[in-house]
Structures are given as structure tokens and as C-alpha cells.
Amino acid sequence: MQATATVLVYSDNATTREQVRLAAGRQPAADVPPVEILECATLPAVLEALEQGGIDACVLDGETAPAGGMGVCRQIKDEIYGCPPVLLLIGRPQDAWLATWSRADAAVTHPVDPVAFADSLAALLRGRVLARG
């Protein structure tokens, strides 16, 4: 297992980024590596971080403005070769179809439920670690 997993968190809201950081904890599950959080508040910062590589999963806030997480997810899935899995934060359960449209790998609702979030993030990281071998 790799030493750490880098998780990119995109939101224009510092409180949302903090909720994600706290929900992820040091290690979202015993069978995945500890996580390091890379916070981004703007789309250019997200794109730059992904171009540099080393991101194991992305958490995108669907409520971010002006570039919402759903549109950003669709964009990076189209533009980033080997795009890491994406966990999308959606405003309500009825928005799950938008998460599907955006090609997100998983979605959880606001406010962040720490247990559901950690479970979803751990599942994405498991898949990423297995894919890397």
C-alpha cells in the first residue's frame, strides 16, 4: 500500500472544505492509505494540480460558483488523461441524476455526513490503489 493518498478538495466555501477535511480524517478506512488534503478554491488551481499529477481522488462541491463541481467534473473527465475518481458533493438527493451527467464516480449530499463521506471516499481510494497495483 502506498504511504499516503492525495485528495483534492474543490470548493469556494472554506467551511465546506473544512467539513470535508474533518470527515475524511487522517484515514477514512483501515484498508486505505492515510490521506493528505489539497484544498483548491478556484478552477485554475484544480486544473493546475491535476496537470501536475499525484492526485488519487477529487472531492468537488457542486454548489461552488462560478464553476460548479458538476461542470468541473465533466470537464476534467474529458480533459485529464487518467483522471482520478471524483466524489461529488450535491445539494440534495434529487440531484443524483446531475452527478451521473457529470460522470462523477460517487456522490454524497450536503451537509457532509462524516460516515457516508468516509465510506464513499474509501471506496474510491480502494479502487485507485488496486488500479495502481
pTM of structure: 0.94
Q: Residue 120: which pLDDT band, with cuts at 50, 70 and 90? A: very high
Position 132 scores a pLDDT of 56
CA atoms of 84 and 86, how far apart (whole Å): 6
Q: Is 29 within 8 Å of 59 (Cβ atoms)?
A: no
